[in-house]
Structure 1
């Protein structure tokens, strides 16, 4: 049991340290003084690990579930898309906003009058798995783009995060939606930390 616990911890650390970021456009310093962002999420052309397209992934998972239980495939598809608004996005918002004392900087889908918009564009997802004795955290690649809300083509700053891990160490992540949501929480945490450290 101790060996299994040690292995799990090492795997978690491996994924944490394997995570990378690459700035694409502008400078993080351009975010100095910005106190709020309208938040939007973009999942267009999303790819899922081992599949060329999200559609291929869904077809594979739906077919397997349909063989076992009629209607199971459609149920999975509905849940897959609903998890975005129900799990991923709230986790990102909560994780980001709690990093700033007194709401000094905040993001929200309902902050429609903000001068700047933060777009979280997900490009790749690895759902991970948890079968009890063996588990792999989810991972997400995402580009975060900051632009003037009134002029979306005027990008202030953009950066890409690679293989951001998401896992609940206490085991409450047998559902892929909960694992992936933790990747968004981690993504938000890393972005907030970057702003706190460098946007001065």
Structure 2
């Protein structure tokens, strides 16, 4: 048992080592965000890429069919969960992770009120990863974060693409795919908040 736990730990470290999320600023700059205190969040998943599949529809068809072979109705349950997790899990996780980086409330993101500025989180890639005990792989997301003032939506104040954002949790005991993906959104929020503090608020 000891050797098995050691192997699992080594494998976990191997899967998390050697990666780092990357940011490429597409338009504007963090400096443009200096005086903004609150953002209304909009999440966009249209056209999301799923690795190894030509489309999200193909991915869902494959996963649903495999589940239906094992249990009638399981495919539809998976499909509903796949979409429901966005609003119920991923988005709250992003909000929580971002806001807790600003304990004094100097900057805030929300879906509940209409602020003067909007932050759009467009997910361009989503990979659920897997965890089958001694073997696992982190979930991964990539997203374009864009910000504009509501009175001038065509004028982008900041737009940046975050790639290689990986999600894991529970010390590697993250067997639920939705949970793993949600940790990717937590990581995305953490990294954006860190960049905002470092490059935009000073």
TM-score bucket of the superposed structures, by smaller chain: over 0.9
Alignment CA distance shift 1:104-1:4 (3 Å): same
Give the match for residue 10 of structure 1. 14
Structure 1 SS opposite 2:154 = strand
Structure 2 SS opposite 1:102 = coil
Cα deviation, residue 171, structure 1:
3.5
Matches within 5 A, 1:1-200: 1-15=5-19, 17=20, 19-112=21-114, 114-199=115-200, 200=202
Cα deviation, residue 73, structure 1:
0.7
TM-score (norm 2): 0.94
Instruction: Report the Cα distance in structure 2 between the residues aligned to 1:182 and 1:48, rounded to whole angstroms.
Output: 17
Contact 2:141 2:184 in 1 (8 A): yes
Number of residue equivalences: 197
Runs of 4 or more consecutive aligned structure 1 residues displaced over 3 Å after TM superposition? none
Cα deviation, residue 169, structure 1:
4.5
TM-score (norm 1): 0.95
Contact 1:117 1:146 in 2 (8 A): yes
CA root-mean-square deviation: 1.1
Residue segments in structure 1 that go unaligned for 5+ positions in a row: none
Contact 2:129 2:138 in 1 (8 A): yes
Cα deviation, residue 177, structure 1:
0.4
Contact 2:143 2:163 in 1 (8 A): yes
Structure 2 SS opposite 1:22 = strand
Structure 1 SS opposite 2:46 = coil
Cα deviation, residue 47, structure 1:
1.3
Superposed CA offset, 1:4-38 (max 9, x none): 312311321223x2x21100000111010111000
Contact 2:11 2:135 in 1 (8 A): no
Cα deviation, residue 173, structure 1:
1.6
Cα deviation, residue 155, structure 1:
0.8
Contact 1:39 1:111 in 2 (8 A): no
Residue segments in structure 2 that go unaligned for 5+ positions in a row: none
Instruction: Report the Cα distance in structure 1 between the residues aligned to 2:69 and 2:128, rounded to whole angstroms.
Output: 21
Instruction: Report the Cα distance in structure 2 between the residues aligned to 1:75 and 1:148, rounded to whole angstroms.
Output: 39
